[in-house]
Amino acid sequence: MSEHDITRVLGGIYVGGVQPIVDHLPLMATYNITHILSIIKFTVIPEYLVRKSYTLKNIPIDDTEDEDVLQYFNETNTFIDHCLFPNEIEYDPNLVDFKKKPQHGAIYIHCQAGISRSPTFIIAYLMYRYGLTLKMALYAVKRKRLSIEPNENFMEQLTMFEKMGGKYVNDQDKSYKQWKLNKSIKSNPIDNNLLSQDETYTNIDETLNDLNNLSNDQLSQITAIRCKKCRQRLALSTSFINHTPPSKESSEGHFIRRAGHGRRIIDIQESQSICSHYFTEPLNWMKNDLQNKNNELEGKLDCPNCHVKVGGYNWKGSRCSCGKWVVPAIHLLANKVDKFPLKPADLPNKVDFKS
């Protein structure tokens, strides 16, 4: 691959490294490129790009195992759309078959070498615009540029994007919030910025308001968790972090005791079939406990009303009775709470429910 290697992926989408820009390659004259998406940390945007009147967007990230690329997908997908479909009023996959809509522009999407960062954003765009699965989008780019290899962190986030539907990144998505917490705690477990932000915590009352338009049948599928002692509502099942119990044949499906710090096994117990924990996303009433004011990596969660222990947290992870590890682990104990189906009377604004 030459240092000026620029690869056409699909239509007017081109991928490559930074060298063509450094060497002032005439991208507009050669490829009709009018837009440039730079997935790289520029100290100063190259004067050449400004002087030649390219439409620019810079995403200043590194090719590392802790960069959050999901947070940028909405804006980069929109930027690419504005280049390729300049007269489009609004992208709505339910109204038009955009797979057959012709492109009208060309864009160069680059990072340092065109191997990890820029292909990641092109893959996300192909999923968003053309409804491709992650596997299909990865193949579509790789068959044109064999050298691409998004790092494991980027692939993990692309997988999450696929599970979100591949269209729009919702920063309140439970799996995304859990991922951000996990990454954040790993990089700085004590002085954690994320835990100081109100948007990190789900407000139960706001969630209840959002459920007002559900039918009785839909509402009955949602459960409420209450403190066993005082009946204080603590969580809704919409905030649960679901986990799949491991196979009974796997080592994770067993609790193994070893002698001291040695390797000799002295006892093996099969995991339970009923889970002892309800793992949840951070909830608003937990805020004071979770903010690590005492530099603790783990601790208990007390009922905000009667102050009895109802659960706990461990930023390194915790194991359910089924054997499954969840990281980070914020949990309510099944033997300290009761679970009930949600009813219309539980909602703050009663409406006319239709089954």
Extract long-range pairs of 236-242: CB within 8 Å, 24+ residues apart: 236/204, 236/207, 236/208, 236/342, 238/207, 239/174, 239/202, 239/204, 239/207, 239/280, 239/281, 239/283, 240/278, 240/279, 240/280, 241/174, 241/178, 241/279, 241/280, 241/281, 241/326, 241/330, 242/279
DSSP characters over 161-186: HHHTTSS---TT-HHHHHHHHHHHHH
pLDDT at 263: 67
> What is each CA distance from 63 to 119, 151, 162, 185, 264, in whole angstroms?
12, 7, 21, 20, 41
Q: Measured between alpha carbons, how far is 59 from 50 in angstroms, rounded to an integer?
A: 16
Asked if 103 contacts 85 with a C-beta cutoff of 8 angstroms, the reply is yes
User: For the domain that residue 73 is a member of, what is the CATH number?
Assistant: 3.90.190.10
Distance CA 234, CA 243 (A): 20
For 308-344, b where at least 16 C-beta lie within 10 A, e where not — what string? eebbbbbbeebbbebbbebebbbbbbbebbeeeebeb
State the catalytic residue, choosing from 111, 227, 303, 322.
111
pLDDT score recorded for residue 225: 94
Domain boundary among 154, 169, 184: 169
Q: What pLDDT score was predicted for residue 260? A: 64
User: Rounded to whole angstroms, how far apart are CA atoms 3 and 10?
Assistant: 21
Return the pLDDT at 192: 63
pLDDT at 104: 81
**CA nearest neighbour of 34 among 44, 18, 49:** 49
Q: How far apart are CA 279 and CA 210, in angstroms?
A: 22
Instruction: Give Rg (Cα) of the chain.
Output: 25
Residues 209 and 287 in one domain: yes
The rounded distance, in Å, linking the Cα atoms of 111 and 36 is 11
- Of 169, 190, 215, the one marking the end of a domain is 169
Q: Are residues 151 and 233 in the same domain?
A: no
Q: Supply 87's token pair.
A: 């007269």
Decide which of 115, 145, 169 is a domain's last residue.
169
The tokens for 118 are 């820029």
Which distant-in-sequence residues (6+ apart) come within 8 Å of 16 by Cβ? 4, 5, 6, 7, 108, 110, 114, 118
Instruction: Identify whether residues 17 and 86 lie together within a single domain.
Output: yes
Q: Do 142 and 58 share a structural domain?
A: yes
Residue 170 in this model has a pLDDT that exceeds 90: no
Whole-structure pTM value:
0.75
Domain assignment present for residue 348? The answer is no
Higher pLDDT, 155 or 316: 155
Domain membership flag for residue 174: no
Q: In this structure, which amino acid lies at residue 80?
A: I
Residues 30 and 155 in one domain: yes
- Tell me the residue range of the domain where 116 lies: 6-169
**Within a domain: 346:** no
38 in the same domain as 153? yes
Tell me whether strands 325-326 and 318-319 are parallel, antiparallel or unpaired. Answer: antiparallel
Instruction: Give the chain's mean pLDDT.
Output: 84
pLDDT recorded at residue 291: 79
What is the distance between the alpha carbons of residues 1 and 47, in angstroms, rounded to a whole number? 26
Res. 7 pLDDT band, cuts 50 70 90: very high
Is the model's pLDDT at 283 over the cut of 80?
A: yes
Q: What percent of the chain has pLDDT over 70?
A: 83
3 state SS of 187: helix
Better pLDDT: 222 or 255: 222
Other beta carbons within 10 angstroms of residue 77's beta carbon come to 21
Q: Is residue 86 situated within a structural domain?
A: yes
H-type helices in 204-337, by residue range? 204-210, 216-219, 287-290
Concatenated DSSP letters of 289-319: HHT-TT--SEEEEE-TTT--EEEEEETT-EE
Report the share of the chain in percent with pLDDT over 90: 48
Grade residue 355 by pLDDT with cuts at 50, 70 and 90.
very low
CB 311, CB 333: distance < 8 Å: yes
**pLDDT greater at residue 160 or residue 207:** 160
pLDDT at residue 266 tops 50: yes
Q: Is 111 a catalytic residue?
A: yes
- The answer to whether 21 touches 46, Cβ cutoff 8 Å, is yes
Maximal CA-CA distance, the chain: 73
User: Which residue, 274, 286, 292, is CA-closest to 331?
Assistant: 286
**Dihedrals phi, psi of 155, to nearest 5 degrees:** -65, -40
Does the structure show a pLDDT above 50 at 354? Answer: no
pLDDT at 96 over 50: no
At 352 the pLDDT is 45
Q: Which of the four pLDDT bands, split at 50, 70 and 90, describes residue 262?
A: low
Alpha-carbon span 44 to 60, nearest angstrom: 11
Q: How many domains does the chain have?
A: 2
Distance CA 124, CA 77 (A): 8
Q: What is the pLDDT of residues 231-248, one digit of tens each?
A: 999 999 999 988 877 776
Residue 71 has pLDDT above 60, yes or no: yes
> Do both 140 and 274 map to the same domain?
no
CA 296 – CA 26 distance, rounded (Å): 56
Assigned domain for 350 exists:
no
